[in-house]
Structure 1
Amino acid sequence: MTPPASRTWSRRGTTPVIRVRGRSQRRFSIAALYCYKPGERSRLIYRPRRHTDHKSGGRKSFAWTEYRDLLIAAHQQLDGPIVLIWDNLNVHKDHRMRAFIDATDWLTVYHLPPYAPDLNPVEGIWSVLRRTSQTNTAFTDPDHLIRQLRHRLRQIQYRSDVVDGCLTATGLTLTTPHLQPQ
C-alpha cells in the first residue's frame, strides 16, 4: 500500500518528490459494515484479512464465505434483523451469496446503483482511515501495517460521531418507521 503524504517540504524553488519503494501487492482486504439500530449508537463491524498466498494464485480479496461469516457475526452482535445496503462488488452478487441471502429470514439486501461510491458510508470510513493512520507513515513490514489498521479501526469503531459523519457525507439519512401503538 503506497502511503499518502499529507505534508512535505523541499528547498525553495524545488518540487518535492517522495519516493516509495515497492508497489502494492494487495495483500490485505478489509470488509466493514456501518450498523445502525434505533435507540443505540452507530457501530462499525469490520474484518481485516491478510492474504498470504496471493502470489501463488490465491485469492486477493474476500471470498463470499467470508462476507457470509461477517454477516452472521453482525447478526449475532446486533441481535436483530439486518437491512443491508451493498455496493455492486462481484462477490456481493455471487449466486452462492444470493442463495444464502434468500435462505435467511433476518437479512434483506438492497444494492446501490453502479459506480456510486459517494452513496456508500463505508467509503468514508476508508477515507478517514487513509487520512489518519497511513499519512506520512512508512510501514516497516506487513505486520506493522495490519497492526496500525486494526488500531485505527478500533478507534473509529468507538467514535459513533465519526461513523455517523461518514453517513452524513453521503447525503443519505436514516429513517425509521414510527411504531404504532398496539
Structure 2
Amino acid sequence: MTPPTTRTWSRRGHTPIVRVRGRSRRRLSIAALTCYKPGRSSRLIYRPRPDTRPDGRKSFAWTDYRDLIQAAHHQLDGPIVLVWDNLNTHLAAGMRRYITEHDWLTVYQLPSYAPDLNPVEGIWSVLRRTILANRAFADPEDLITTVRQGLRRLQYRSDILDGCLAGTGLIRTPP
C-alpha cells in the first residue's frame, strides 16, 4: 500500500517524507477490457478482486477471466476480438478450451514483454498518475474504494480510452 508519488515538495535542504501507516500484505487484483467498436464510443469493463477469497487464491484464475469475457459478450452483444498479453492464466488449458468452444471469440496474443501494445496498460498509467498519485491509503478498503471510483470515472471517458488505444499504434478497424 505504498503510494505512488508523482511530485512532492519541501523546504530547501529538507528531504520530503511521505508517511504511510504501515505495511500490509493484502492486495487488489483488477482485470480490465478496453472495448472499441467502429461507430460506437469506447468502453471499459473491469472486475476488481480483493485477495480475501474463500479459496485462498490471491489473483485471478482463468475462470475469472472467462466470466469477465462472458460479461463483456453479454454487454456488447456481438463478437469479440480479444488482444491480450501472455499472462499465465490467459494461456491456461481451460481458457484455451473455452476460446475454441466459442465462435464469437477470436484471440490474438501480444508478443512477450510488449506492454506498449496493450491499451489497458495506458489505463493503469492514467489511474496511477491521477487518482492514486500522492496518496497514502488508510486501509485496504480505502484503496479498493479509490480504485473503483477512478475506474468508474474512466469508464465514461471515451476520449481517454481512445487515447490509450492511439498510444499503442493499433488500429480501430478490423483488417
TM-score normalised by L of structure 2: 0.93
CA contact (8 A) 1:2 1:24 kept: no
Equivalent AA in structure 2 for residue 113 of structure 1:
P
Identity of aligned residues (%): 70
What is residue 44 of structure 1 aligned with on the other side? 44
Q: CA deviation at 1:168?
A: 1.0
Q: Distance in 2 between matches of 1:21 and 1:99?
A: 45
What is residue 180 of structure 1 aligned with on the other side? none
Change (3 A) 1:140 1:47: same
Q: CA deviation at 1:140?
A: 1.3
Equivalent position to 2:169, from 159, 168, 171? 171
Could you list the per-position Cα deviations for residues 75-122 of structure 1 after superposition, in whole angstroms to 9, with x for gaps in the alignment? 000000000001000000000000011111110101000000111000
Q: CA deviation at 1:151?
A: 0.9
Q: CA deviation at 1:13?
A: 2.1
CA contact (8 A) 2:83 2:107 kept: yes
Q: Distance in 1 between matches of 2:38 and 2:53?
A: 41
Q: Based on CA coordinates, which of the two structures has the bigger radius of gyration?
A: 1
What is residue 66 of structure 1 aligned with on the other side? 64
Secondary structure in 1 matching 2:48: strand
Q: CA deviation at 1:5?
A: 1.6
Structure 1: any 5+ residue segments left out of the alignment?
Answer: 178-182
Matched ranges for 1:136-147 at <5 A: 136-147=134-145
Count residues in correspondence: 175
Q: Distance in 1 between matches of 2:59 and 2:135?
A: 24
Q: Distance in 1 between matches of 2:108 and 2:23?
A: 35
Q: Distance in 2 between matches of 1:46 and 1:163?
A: 13
What is residue 75 of structure 1 aligned with on the other side? 73
Root-mean-square deviation (Å): 1.7
Q: CA deviation at 1:21?
A: 4.2
The higher relative CO (CA closer than 8 Å, separation ≥ 6) is in 2
TM-score normalised by L of structure 1: 0.89
